[in-house]
Amino acid sequence: MADNPFAVPVLTTDRLEIRRLVGDDLAACQELFEAIGWDGSRQDRADRAAWLTWTVASYDTHENLYQPPLGERAVVARDGGRFLGLVGYVPSFEPFARLPSWGGIADAGRTMELGLFWAFHPSAQGQGLATEAAWALIDHAFAAMAVGRIVATTTHDNEASVAVMRRLGMSIDRYDQPHPGLQVVGLKRAG
């Protein structure tokens, strides 16, 4: 469906190709999650296998339903095809209007925003690759999907992720509450 804004095309940058995950990416994904300290147990690996199956199936399902193409994608090197990490669009469902620059309304309820996700293997960090991949998703969201704004969220202690937000030119809000999705929020508007 070439005219569907929610299609999942291969995106390319100077150094990267961002493509759909496939079943054969399981080992690389598990290596990534273990390397960044998110997974370790047998149950974690089973959960990731189920996540990958679901993600691979979701691309066409979302597209066929004209739903936003949520979910992670593989980032591989254009030169040689090495698996480097994951980026993707994620649903961010938080009480954003509590944030200072979103209105500071103390009892605001949750609203849905299009969010960004990024995770790179340590061997692929420190080279600007996460920022480069995130730019591709931002450009695609604004140009192909006509999204008006996009967010990224992380926890107070994730300085590397906040640094990516800054490199992307996002405005940053901090919220002093132990709420994982609202501790640090980056916002970028189209145009």
Q: How far is the CB of 3 from ligand COA (least distance, A)?
A: 33
Nearest residue to the partner ligand COA, using Cβ:
128
| Residues sharing a CB contact under 8 Å with residue 29, sequence separation 6 or more, in sequence order | 21, 48, 52, 86
Residue in 8, 84, 130, 138 binding ligand COA, rule: CB under 6 A: 130
Candidate segments 75-83, 95-103, 119-127, 138-146, binder of ligand COA by CB under 6 A: 119-127
User: How far is 61 from 8, CA to CA, in rounded Å?
Assistant: 11
Q: At what angle do helices 26-35 and 42-64 cross, to 10 degrees?
A: 120
- State how far the alpha carbon of 59 is from the alpha carbons of 42, 148, 185, in Å: 27, 22, 26
32 to 71: interface string for ligand COA, x by CB under 6 A: ----x-----------------------------------
- Check binding of 30 to ligand COA (CB under 6 A): no
Residue in 18, 161, 173, 183 binding ligand COA, rule: CB under 6 A: 161
Q: How far is CA 90 from the centre of its chain?
A: 6
Residue in 70, 77, 97, 125 binding ligand COA, rule: CB under 6 A: 125
Tokens of 80: 């040689």
